[in-house]
Structures are given as structure tokens and as C-alpha cells.
Structure 1
Amino acid sequence: MKTALITGCSSGYGLATARRFHAQGWKVVATMRTPRDIGIPPSSRFHVVTLDVTRPESIARALEAIDTIDLLVNNAGIGLFGAFEATPMATVREVFETNTFGTMAMCQAVIPRLRSQRSGTIVNVTSSATLAPFPLVAAYTASKTAVEGFSASLALELHDFDVRVRLVEPGYGPGTNFSANSGERMQGLITEPYAGFAQGVFAEFVGASLTTTPEDVAEAVWLAANDTSDRLHRAAGPDAVALVGARHAPSSLTPG
């Protein structure tokens, strides 16, 4: 029986991913900063573990309670929406601490086990903001883009140890807690000069015809975890898939 360690399972993508792997017969260790009942009965195949990816001692305690790991899913993250001009650098660092450094810390803690057993997969969940530029998410996009570069390099580094690294890039998920997880960090970040512009951006999100569900992301993580090829990137959700298609479409401008 394979074991999946999944971060950020209290809601959204992490919760759906935990449910997906559990339904497929895996042993699932679902982690979150504040443990709560997520609707899966505790058993020999399912455990909820306290874990804050920004705290080394929390990571160490969590790993002490886990015997084996075949898959690490770095899903824990926080969102941020606002004008970069108005965003305190302390807030930028806070976003990077969870989204970027938290992911890197989890990888560094788990890699020795995977390397020594010469098997395993790391799936890092980023965002479709890395596929195309979006306004008012500059700091968030930077934190996720850093994970993309980190993962591409790490994949090469671990290849000879038969440890695979994968990226899953979700689209816009209105059913997630992106705004709620941003909390007080977003207060005051839409200043008067940006108010009209931000209103238009919000309207585009509300009227989006293609969006991503937590189940879309769980499916993408499942496929990434079981993919034995060298594929690194996997878009999750119809809007993210459309962005990939648009990025790779031939330009309408041809040289004269």
C-alpha cells in the first residue's frame, strides 16, 4: 500500500486530493495547520496530522509520525490579490514563506527518504498564474513561479535516484478559499488609483466561463503521481488547459 503525504488538506484542492487518493486505496496522511474533521473516518489508511510548512519543528514532528512516504503533494499555500504598489514587503515575504519556502522545506525534509529508497514522487501545486500574466497578483505569481523554476531543476537533480518531480498548475477556482486564506493580508491593497481597474478585473473573474474545481486538481495530481514519463508540467482545469493551448498556438503574425 502506497502512502501519500498531502499538505493543506483543510479545504479546496488539498481536501479533494486527499479524498481521491484515499478512494483509490492509498494510505493518506492529510496535513493542515489546524486539524479538523474533513469527512474521512480515521483508520489505518487515513490520518490527519498537524503541520505548518513555515515551521521547521512542525515539519520534523509531522515526519516523525510517518513511517513511509511514496508521494509528497505540496499543496499548502496562501493567496494574495491587490496592487503591488500597496503591498507591504512584509506581506510579500509572508506569501513566499508559505508558497515558496514552505514547499522547498517540505521537499528538503522528505527527499532523503525518497532518495534512500530510490523511488517516490513529489508533486508541487502552483497556479495558472505561471502560464499567463494576470493583474493584481504580482507577489502571488512570483511565489508560484519560483516553485516552477525550483521544481524543474530539482527534477534533474533527483532523476538518477528514480525520484520524480511534477508540477500541477490549477486554474481559477471560485469554489476554493483563496480569498479567505488571504485574510487580513488583502486589506487596503486596492487603493483609490487602482479601484476602477480592480473592479473590471473582479468582473472578469466573476463572469469567467471556464473555471477549475477541486476535483479537477485532484485528478491532475493523481495523473501526475502515476505518470512514469519525464513530463514535468500538468495544467489542471479547463481554463488552465486553455491557457496552455493559447500559449503554444502559432502566432497570427507571420514574418513578411
Structure 2
Amino acid sequence: MPAILITGCSSGFGLETSQLFLDRGWDVVATMRTLDTKIIPACERLRMLQLDVTDPASVGRAVADAGPIDVLVNNAGFGVPSPIELTEPNVARAMFETNTLGTLAMIQAVLPSFRERRSGVVINVSSSTTLKSQPMVGVYRASKAAVNSITETLAVEAREFGVRAHLVIPGSAPETRFGDNGIPHLRGRDNADYGPMIERMVAHMRNQSEPLTHPSDVAAAIWRCATDPSSPFRLAAGRDAEALMVEAE
């Protein structure tokens, strides 16, 4: 059976993707920073590993423990909504360390085996915020735009070794809209000048009760990239991401 390693499986896109590949007969290595073996029903084709993509030792252990894999999905990531001017340096650094450098670390850990076998697929989960600028997500957008750039170059370099690289671009979902968890932080960034802008974003978050992108949309896009060699380099997941991609082109 083919095998896939997925980062960030504790919820959302990663959790849904793990279950989809299990349901379709794959061996799945589901990883997460805080290991919770109860979130996915036990299965002989499932292995769950602790993995912090910002920790080189953790990356090395997880990749070694996973054994040979056919597909790597870099899904782990997070965002904190904040105006550029008010984003604390430690928060900005953490977003880049997880979203960008964590993705890079996983690619560098897995690619040697792919290159040796002359096969493999790397799928990096990006964000529709990279397709159109909007307030309060500038640093998060920059971290994901860097992932886009890395993946574009990787696709050219890895092609020489029979390895494919793809971008899956989700639209608005609880994970990418930052959800209610981001509202307290936004309010904490409030001041006389940014207050009205922040309140507009808070209202938008609260009024958009139905996400335009569901985890199942992202899982389906990842499945296509993993199993169909003719799938496009960039694949939008969700109605709004698809619309934005058409607009950007």
C-alpha cells in the first residue's frame, strides 16, 4: 500500500485528510505537535507520531520513525490576525518558523529518500490570502507566500528526479479565517486609529457563519494531487479560493 505522512493532523484539514486516505486504503502517518491518539479511530494502517516542525530533532525522529513514504503533506501552520504595525516580533517569527521554515524542514528531511527512489510527491498547503491582499493577515500571508515560492522552485528542481510538488490553496475556513480564537487577539490590538478597521474584520468573522471551504474540500484536493500525475501544480480548494484563483490569473 502507498504511504502518506501528513503534518498538523490534530484538527481541520489534516484530520480530514488523514481519514480520507485511510478510508481509501492508504497507510497513513498522522503527525501533530501534541499527540492525541484518540482523535482518529485506531486502524492497522494508521500510525500517529508527535512532531513539532519547528524542532529539528523532532523532525528527524518523526521522519525516521515513519519509514518509507510516498507522499508528504505539509499542512501544519497557524495564523494570528493583526495589523502589520502592531504585530509583535515574536508572533511574526513564530508564524514564519511554523508555516515557512517548518515546511522547508520537512521537505529537506524527506526529499533525499524521494530523490534516491526517483519518485514521491510533496504537497504544501498554502492559503487563499496569498491570492489577494486584505487587512490584518499581512504577516501570515507573507509566510504562506514564501511557501508558494519554495514550492514553485521545488517543482522545477524535483522534476529532475521524478518527484512532483504541488500547492493546495484553501479558501475561507475556520482555520484560515482565524475563527473566534483570533477575535480576542484582534481586540487586544485595538487603538484609536486601527479600531474601526479591526471592528470591521471582527464583524466579518462573526457574520460569516458558513465557511466557503470545508476540510473535505482540502482533503479532496490533496487526494487528487497525490494520486493523479496530471493534476495541476496549483489546486484551489473551496468556492472562494477557486474564484480568487481565476481572478488572479
1:206/1:96 CA distance change after superposition, 3 Å: same
Aligned to 2:149: 149
Aligned to 2:71: 71
Superposition deviation, residue 244 in structure 1: 1.4
SS in 1 for 2:193: helix
Superposition deviation, residue 192 in structure 1: 3.3
- Is the Cα–Cα contact under 8 Å of residues 13 and 215 in structure 1 kept in the other structure? yes
Q: How does 1:161-200 map to 2 (within 5 A)?
A: 161-174=161-174, 178-179=178-179, 188-200=188-200
SS in 2 for 1:192: coil
- Cα deviation 1:44-76 (Å, max 9, x = unaligned): 300110000000000111112122110000000
SS in 1 for 2:194: helix
SS in 2 for 1:68: coil
Runs of at least 4 residues off by over 6 Å: 180-185
Aligned to 2:18: 18
Superposition deviation, residue 232 in structure 1: 1.2
- Is the Cα–Cα contact under 8 Å of residues 128 and 172 in structure 1 kept in the other structure? yes
SS in 1 for 2:219: helix
Q: Give the Cα separation in 2 of the matches to 1:57 and 1:8.
A: 17
Which 10-residue stretch deviates more, 171-180 or 218-227?
A: 171-180
Superposition deviation, residue 176 in structure 1: 7.2
Q: How does 1:90-169 map to 2 (within 5 A)?
A: 90-169=90-169
- Is the Cα–Cα contact under 8 Å of residues 126 and 170 in structure 1 kept in the other structure? yes
- Is the Cα–Cα contact under 8 Å of residues 83 and 190 in structure 1 kept in the other structure? no
In structure 2, what residue type is equivalent to 1:235? A
- Is the Cα–Cα contact under 8 Å of residues 81 and 178 in structure 2 kept in the other structure? no
Aligned to 2:204: 204
1:237 aligns with 2:244: no
Superposition deviation, residue 180 in structure 1: 7.2
Q: Give the Cα separation in 1 of the matches to 2:8 and 2:102.
A: 11
In structure 2, what residue type is equivalent to 1:40? I
Q: Calculate percent identity across the aligned residue pairs.
A: 44
Q: Give the Cα separation in 2 of the matches to 1:116 and 1:135.
A: 44
Aligned to 1:251: none
Q: Give the Cα separation in 2 of the matches to 1:133 and 1:197.
A: 15
Aligned to 1:214: 215
SS in 1 for 2:66: coil
- Is the Cα–Cα contact under 8 Å of residues 72 and 121 in structure 2 kept in the other structure? yes
Superposition deviation, residue 134 in structure 1: 1.5
Q: Give the Cα separation in 2 of the matches to 1:10 and 1:152.
A: 27
- Is the Cα–Cα contact under 8 Å of residues 86 and 190 in structure 1 kept in the other structure? no
Number of residues of Structure 1 aligned to a counterpart in Structure 2:
248
Provide TM-score, normalisation by structure 2. Answer: 0.92
In structure 1, what residue type is equivalent to 2:242? V
In structure 1, what residue type is equivalent to 2:219? A
SS in 1 for 2:236: strand
5+ unaligned residues in a row in structure 2: which ranges?
none
Q: Give the Cα separation in 1 of the matches to 2:166 and 2:79.
A: 21
What do you get for the CA RMSD once the two structures are aligned?
Answer: 2.2
Superposition deviation, residue 179 in structure 1: 4.7
In structure 2, what residue type is equivalent to 1:199? E
Superposition deviation, residue 80 in structure 1: 1.3
In structure 2, what residue type is equivalent to 1:166? H
- Cα deviation 1:122-174 (Å, max 9, x = unaligned): 00001000111111100000000000011000110000111000000101103
In structure 1, what residue type is equivalent to 2:87? T
Q: Give the Cα separation in 1 of the matches to 2:104 and 2:124.
A: 10
Q: Give the Cα separation in 1 of the matches to 2:240 and 2:42.
A: 35
5+ unaligned residues in a row in structure 1: which ranges?
249-256
Which 10-residue stretch deviates more, 45-54 or 34-43?
A: 34-43
Q: Give the Cα separation in 1 of the matches to 2:94 and 2:225.
A: 28
Superposition deviation, residue 110 in structure 1: 0.3
SS in 2 for 1:65: helix
Q: Give the Cα separation in 2 of the matches to 1:144 and 1:7.
A: 16
Superposition deviation, residue 210 in structure 1: 6.0
